[in-house]
A and B are shown apart, each in its own frame.
Chain A
């Protein structure tokens, strides 16, 4: 038996025990443990009250039952069934999603015409969007202020320094996650102890990016605790660890904990950050809007979201705060000139993004194909780079081969040197089906590269009108080629776009950054809870 297997299991059991021993400090706990076959989740099941083990509790993978006695002989029993996750294999470490396949019944259509398939998918997405407008509730849940005659609970004296609970969707690559990691660092800088949780079971491959600091604790609720028990865990944690604030980054079970927080832990300041309105159901901004009366601060990254919260949910103006995802310290005082020149003899286009449907990698390849054809006609030496990893990797490689673009387009993994790449690219392509306000567009402009994006989300806040193309797949491809052609042919148009990009960037720069919005809050919480 390898030592690493034993260590892996022992560590998993210890992590799970710590969670449940905090949640049920005085009860008798029976941990029914088995060897799991899922690297991400322990598929927890919790049974409160007396439970007689049944065959489905045990099985061939049964490891054993660990009992933690309660505080007395009559302590209520809780049975916790856990399949301790196995270690991921190297392929899972790289990518846990299965390679993308066309929807059932549409495989032949995709093989014949990838763009026809994309058109069908776009149509379905728009249909869902229209339906979502009708089906989903866009009303904020009401919350009374309470009657002064009923005393509100007060924070107990714990002797602990104040802490913040930061809830993330997961610790994987993404724009919302980048802000999540930033807030961990800012909270630490403000003097808060930080507890981090994630709602979605995943390998949490970026957990290593959390600061290696004794005040930062990552609790694996995603693996070991069912969502319905989160509110109770949050209460225990808050009372024991002097939690003074909760910051929600797309973490559903923390939203569901809000009624408990408001009823029993009213001293806690609740902040959330949202980024992107999803077509299908409004996504996290809609969830935030629905819970807006339970939140103290709704931090958003774009003007579009400010309007969304105020107009759709009637959120109080002082509660919704715009904080751009820009790092003022990292920004050059003067932006570098944008590189593309009219009539130049070479053109390098770049795509940077996770290879998921949202980024529409198939449309990216079709755009590159169209640009290659355009470049041939214009006598321009065309090259391109695609950066990213995800389920569409195989599809992208196959399409590039099919279109004879393998020698023109370089495909790089997600850890490529992005600033260096943008520093030698003329055009950045972003034909996404949805975006909040894409960080990569900021970065492109900061490195002299011109972004061209679909007109989605808040992209119109960072790009001038002529660099925004329609979302419909064929129109997106045609619009991008048309925009590139005009930039290349029409020096005056190019100059106007450069000017427009710089002006938009300066407008964004004039807005407060996320750090400027959140740091004073964190500092105040750290001081008041001390």
Chain B
């Protein structure tokens, strides 16, 4: 466990200044405040720049990283983590602009990372929070994926299950993981960038799910990522998701992995009675993903 604790919060935002201010309020109220808060502004066109600048004037820990164009969540996290790495951060707390951490959320993640290593000798590649929706139920889209032996070190009072995939909603990543595995893939633009990245860093050692660290994800509705739920409004995101996951599966599992994925997507769309036009769009995205091989940027 590191004796150096400089922590950078990386928040990616786009045209949601009200929610972003609530996130910054929540960070200011943390029992263990981050040393730096990097607000990655994806070229917002609302009043985000002014409101962040006003905040930064009062709180020197806030850094406004305004990008010249909208590079999506993936590009934003990539840019923010790169900037935080160059600032010398030892821990990177990554989250969305609509997720409000409870006052002890960051402290709990820190304690779990150091406590787990002290107890077991293993260095988790990340620690992720329990993400709840605004009504207190589990947020469907932010449920981490356990590994087969997730219960190996789970004990009363230290219920840290081993996971190998988590979303970029309140996840704490130690510096060594970035040094060894590089940055998230900016070219993904949106969706699956978090799953790809956490699975990549979890090759060194899985991450841990820290239920005592809680964040509230203020999304319009509480829906998981299921291709049966595609509608006109969300189709573009699903297209990115299908392309990105296909690309990842091709890289990690080869064509058999892609075929298995395509079969699962087809089944979900069939069960969700997704119209044929939208299904074809998704299949096209899967085909596109076969030839999509973005580079991984390393330090």
Contacts and interface: CB of A to CB of B under 8 A. Distances in A.
B222 interface: no
B66 interface: no
A89 B117 CA distance: 9
Contacts of A6: 3
A90 B120 contact: yes
A4 B118 contact: yes
B114 A1 contact: yes
B122 A5 contact: no
Interface string A60-73: 11010000000000
B172 to A, nearest CB: 15
A2 B120 CA distance: 12
> For the complex, would chain B's binding face be called helix, strand, loop or mixed by DSSP majority?
loop
A2 B118 contact: yes
B1 A2 contact: yes
Contact of A5 (B1, B6, B205): B1
A9 B88 CA distance: 20
A111 interface: no
Interface string B143-176: 0000000000000000000000000000000011
Contacts of A377: none
A216 to B, nearest CB: 27
A5 B3 contact: yes
A88 B117 CA distance: 11
B115 A63 contact: no
A61 B6 CA distance: 10
Given A5-B114, A87-B121, A61 B1 contact: no
Interface size grouping (class) on chain B: 20 to 34
A88 B122 CA distance: 9
A507 interface: no
A89 B123 CA distance: 7
A362 B117 CA distance: 36
A37 interface: yes
A136 interface: no
B99 to A, nearest CB: 26
Contacts of B176: 37
Contacts of A90: 120-122
Nearest to B175: A60
Contact of A60 (B90, B114, B118, B122): B90
A89 B121 contact: yes
Contact of B4 (A4, A61, A87, A88): A61
Contacts of A1: 1, 3, 5, 114
B179 interface: yes
B118 A35 contact: no
Interface in B81-133: 85, 88-90, 114-115, 117-118, 120-123
B219 interface: no
A59 interface: yes
Nearest to A61: B4
Interface string B20-42: 00000000000000000000000
A37 B114 contact: no
Contacts of B89: 60
Contacts of A60: 4, 6, 85, 88-90, 175
A9 B179 contact: no
A1 B85 CA distance: 21
Contacts of B117: 2, 5
B118 A59 contact: no
B271 interface: no
A4 B119 CA distance: 10
Interface in A208-235: none
B35 to A, nearest CB: 12
A93 interface: yes
B121 A63 contact: no
Interface in B217-267: none
Contacts of B123: 89
Interface string A73-95: 00000000000000111100100
Interface in A1-46: 1-2, 4-6, 9, 35, 37
A2 B205 CA distance: 20
A87 B120 CA distance: 12
A60 B90 CA distance: 7
A111 to B, nearest CB: 16
A90 B4 CA distance: 22
A59 B179 CA distance: 13
Contact of A37 (B115, B122, B179, B205): B179
Contacts of A4: 1, 118
A476 B237 CA distance: 61
B122 to A, nearest CB: 5
A89 B1 CA distance: 11
A5 B88 contact: no
A240 to B, nearest CB: 33
A150 B120 CA distance: 62
Contacts of A5: 1-3, 114, 117-118
A270 B6 CA distance: 51
A207 B118 CA distance: 22
A89 to B, nearest CB: 5
B178 to A, nearest CB: 10
Given A2-B115, A5-B114, A37-B179, A93 B3 contact: no
Contact of A35 (B4, B114, B115, B120): B4
A89 B122 contact: yes
Contacts of B2: 5, 35
A35 B6 CA distance: 13
A63 B3 contact: yes
B205 A89 contact: yes
A61 B118 CA distance: 20
B121 A9 contact: no
A40 to B, nearest CB: 16
A88 B2 CA distance: 13
A9 B1 CA distance: 10
Nearest to A2: B118
Contacts of B1: 1-2, 4-5
Contacts of B88: 59-60
* Among B90, B118, B179: residue with most chain A CB under 10 A: B118
Interface string A402-427: 00000000000000000000000000
Contacts of A37: 176, 179
Contact of B121 (A35, A59, A61, A93): A93
A347 to B, nearest CB: 38
Contacts of A89: 121-123, 205
B285 to A, nearest CB: 33
10 contacts: A5-B118, A6-B3, A9-B3, A35-B4, A63-B3, A87-B121, A89-B205, A90-B120, A90-B122, A93-B121
Interface of A: 1-2, 4-6, 9, 35, 37, 59-61, 63, 87-90, 93
Given A1-B114, A59-B88, A88-B121, 6 more contacts: A1-B1, A2-B114, A2-B118, A60-B85, A60-B175, A90-B121
A-B CB proximity, top 10 nearest: A60-B88, A2-B118, A5-B1, A90-B121, A2-B114, A2-B1, A89-B121, A89-B122, A4-B118, A5-B3
Interface of B: 1-6, 85, 88-90, 114-115, 117-118, 120-123, 175-176, 179, 205
